[in-house]
Homo-oligomer: A and B are copies of this chain.
Amino acid sequence: MGMSPLAEAFVLHFGEMGSRWGINRTVGQIYALLYISAHPLPADEIAETLNFSRSNVSMGLKELQSWQLVRLQHLPGDRREHFSTPDDIWQIVRTLAEQRRRREIDPTLSVLRDLIVAQPAGAEERHAQEKLREMHDLIELLTGWADEVQKLDTGELVSLLKLGSRVVGLLELKNRLPFIGQKRREAHSAEDSPPPD
């Protein structure tokens, strides 16, 4: 491969990891290469660097574009299309979460809902439906949370993550001083906040 050992090691590892997460190894390698590249790269250079056929790169890039993980741009004085990843790694995470949700999570929730509302044909099915409901509720809770934190700006998100489980202390604090929390936000969806008196 026409790469420094450092780049090669990363690209190979990333491709391997990709394939363990359901992403085609080649696509993973293309992404890795774009990610560490200081400049947008044209498809033929990617093909040359990774020793893939030009058509394979074309398909890989198409896949990455369908996931909105790469962007295309034209450089002045060059007719070829150049590809790059977003500069902000948090944007990458957000896109990934959003796409996987759209493609996999939402359809799964929909299947689960359909199965849960069906009339059970006996005790076995009733039990199965109960398990499906548990799974549904869990996925919904997790994705609901993900939706919420997607709305935060990166700084807030990082603070939250750094806080980790210590946030539980704040939860307790809130429960002991509910009146303070009230003042900050007006009637949100009245899910779990204690009703204002």
Contact = CB atoms under 8 A, between A and B. Distances in A.
Given A13-B111, A170-B173, A145 B125 contact: no
A6 B185 contact: no
A127 to B, nearest CB: 4
Contacts of A131: 35-36
A4 B194 CA distance: 43
A118 B156 contact: no
- Residue among A10, A120, A160, A166 having the largest count of chain B Cβ atoms under 10 Å: A166
Contacts of A36: 127-128, 131-132
A185 to B, nearest CB: 6
Given A111-B10, A162-B141, A174-B173, A4 B121 contact: yes
Nearest to A120: B6
Given A36-B128, A111-B13, A141-B161, A194 B167 contact: no
Contacts of A163: 171, 192
Nearest to A85: B131
Contacts of A2: none
Given A89-B138, A108-B17, A174-B173, A115 B9 contact: yes
Given A6-B128, A170-B174, A174-B170, A144 B161 contact: yes
13 contacts: A6-B125, A6-B128, A17-B108, A21-B21, A36-B128, A159-B192, A162-B192, A163-B192, A166-B194, A169-B194, A170-B171, A170-B174, A172-B194
